[in-house]
Amino acid sequence: MKIEEVKSTSKAQRIASHSHVKGLGLDENGYAIQTAAGLVGQESAREAAGIIVELIKSKKMAGRAVLLAGPPGTGKTAIALAIAQELGTKVPFCPMVGSEVYSSEIKKTEVLMENFRRAIGLRIKETKEVYDGEVTELTPVETENPMGGYGKTVSHVIIGLKTSKGTKQLKLDPSIYESLQKEKVEVGDVIYIEANSGAVKRQGRSDSFATEFDLEAEEYVPLPKGDVHKKKEVIQDVTLHDLDIANARPQGGQDIMSMMGQLMKPKKTEITDKLRKEINKVVNKYIDQGIAELVPGVLFIDEVHMLDIECFTYLHRALESTIAPIVIFATNRGKCTIKGTDDIVAPHGMPLDLLDRIMIIRTLPYRSEEMAQILRIRSQTESIQIDDDSLQMLANIGTKSTLRYAVQLLTPGNIMAHINGKECIGKDEVEEMNQLFFDAKSSAKHLAQHEDKYMK
């Protein structure tokens, strides 16, 4: 099992409509401030989310699930992203949508499992022996080629390193000379070499050369302190999914399959249960030895009613496993049929036995004043100027239709204002945009009135 070099495969968080959310906006006692950190209103839902954040931080929440339930446009995704912001970057957060599980290449349960493992972090502490310093000499020592012929080969390389405390001369393997050439290391560069793996990293040019005429693009770094040879503690954060991916691909080798695998773009393939069990064994061994610690993160599944009965039964098992993240579901459905069944109607389209083990947080529709505040925050985020009367008018439109519709009118209104030669959106622009575009309710009303003109 490889754990040394693992590239992160974390998913980018969905931004755009929630890029203004910076946290839950609670005071030090855990009470919600009416408008804070980009969130407005929904005090009780935010306070409940605050308690969940505390539970996650104290590691007493693993294996539980939370459901954010409420009508469309009441800030469910915003609260979930706020929870992620509160937890900080150290806790893995993996967002997905219910319909992502339907793929032609992988089984539904496999997609769920992949996201589950993306949401579980492993913090590995390693003590590495390193040599670092400014290069004072770099001399490859050549010998006759033992294979015959005219060429000479590098038998070893002599390298001098200098720190603020002293200097040291090292005799290194020729393979390290190759990596020194790859990193384009010259005399006067600050580098560090890992003793056990032989990896070389060039950190920049020593700042004693900063006064010399050099290219501006060069990055100058100070001379390292301490001895040349030192022990360094390196903390690496990976997710279990990163480990799965690193071990699932054929690593090099001479056989034709692994060569083909490297050339062709890798198709999404399933990671077998056997491999996952092996990785879990290694991970558990690391945890027992105290080398690593598990960081259960958050898996956020939006539109959870899109999952079918198979996924729900699988979620039962996944939630009960020893290594499980905190799962946050979000849905805007009331009573509806569970996908994958013909006639089982359940609240939120989720089976009752799964609902039993879930903490439910309600979100309520926004009032007109709250909508005005949200629209003000959005207009600042998108750097759009709008006067107070127009903002109130937009909020009233939002109350009649939806908040999303009101937010979407901001940008076209801004374009219209620029066309009319204004800096700021006025009432005329808001009225004009409202007439040009239909919201869902007025569109449905129009359809009902002119039913005979549309195809059945």
What are the tens digits of pLDDT across the range 3-49?
555 666 666 554 456 777 778 888 888 788 887 877 887 888 888 88
pLDDT digits (tens, 9 = 90+) for 107-145: 888 888 888 888 888 888 877 777 888 888 888 787 777
| Residue 235: pLDDT over 60 | yes
Confidence class for position 261, pLDDT limits 50, 70, 90? low
pLDDT for res 53: 86
Residues recorded for the chain: 456
Report whether pLDDT(265) > 80: no
Query: In the 3-class helix/strand/coil scheme, how is the chain assigned residue by residue?
Result: CCCCCCCCCCCCCCCCCCCCCCCCCECCCCCECCEECCEECCHHHHHHHHHHHHHHHCCCCCCCEEEEECCCCCCHHHHHHHHHHHHCCCCCEEEEEHHHHCCCCCCHHHHHHHHHHHCEEEEEEEEEEEEEEEEEEEEEEEEECCCCCCCEEEEEEEEEEECCCCEEEEEECHHHHHHHHHCCCCCCEEEEEECCCCCEEEEEEEHHHCCCCCCCCCCEECCCCCCCEEEEEEEEEEEHHHHHHHHHCCCCCCCHHHHHHHHCCCCCCCCCHHHHHHHHHHHHHHHHHCCEEEEECEEEEECHHHCEHHHHHHHHHHHHCCCCCEEEEEECCCEEECECCCCCEEECCCCHHHHCCEEEEECCCCCHHHHHHHHHHHHHHCCCCECHHHHHHHHHHHHHCCHHHHHHCHHHHHHHHHHCCCCCECHHHHHHHHHHCCCHHHHHHHHHHCHHHCCC
User: What domains can be seen in the chain, in order of their start residue?
Assistant: 35-119+297-362 (3.40.50.300), 125-235 (2.40.50.360), 368-451 (1.10.8.60)
Phi first, then psi, for residue 262 (nearest 5°) are -80, -30
Tell me what the mean pLDDT of segment 241-256 comes to: 68
Q: What is the pLDDT, as a whole number, of residue 430?
A: 84
pLDDT digits (tens, 9 = 90+) for 319-373: 887 778 888 999 988 888 888 888 888 888 888 888 888 888 888 888 888 888 8
**How high is the pLDDT of residue 410?**
84
Does residue 181 carry a pLDDT above 50? yes
Query: Would the pTM of this model clear 0.85, i.e. be above it?
Result: no
- Res 268: pLDDT: 55
224-242 mean pLDDT: 78
Closest CA to 250 of 236, 263, 241, 239: 263
Cβ(231)–Cβ(129) below 8 Å: yes
Q: What is the pLDDT of residues 388-417, one digit of tens each?
A: 888 888 888 888 888 888 888 888 888 888
Which residues are CB-contacts of 343 (< 8 A; sequence separation ≥ 6)?
Answer: 337
Name, in order, each residue with C-beta under 8 angstroms of 392's C-beta and a sequence gap of 6 or more.
368, 372
User: For residue 15, what pLDDT is reported?
Assistant: 44
Model confidence band, residue 180 (pLDDT cutoffs 50, 70, 90): confident
Q: Residue 256: pLDDT band by 50, 70, 90 thresholds?
A: low
Give the model confidence (pLDDT) of 67-114 as tens digits: 999 888 888 888 888 888 888 777 888 888 888 888 888 888 888 888
For residue 266, pLDDT beyond 80: no
Q: How much is the pLDDT for 13?
A: 52
Q: For residue 411, what pLDDT is reported? A: 84
Most confident by average pLDDT, 200-209, 248-257, 298-307: 298-307
Q: For the segment 139-154, what is each residue's pLDDT rounded down to a tens digit?
A: 878 777 766 666 677 7
Q: In the prediction, which pLDDT does 143 show? A: 77
Q: How far apart are CA 207 and CA 190, in angstroms?
A: 9
185 has a pLDDT exceeding 70 = yes
* For range 157-174, the mean pLDDT: 81
Q: What is the pLDDT at residue 148? A: 64
pLDDT score of 205 more than 60: yes
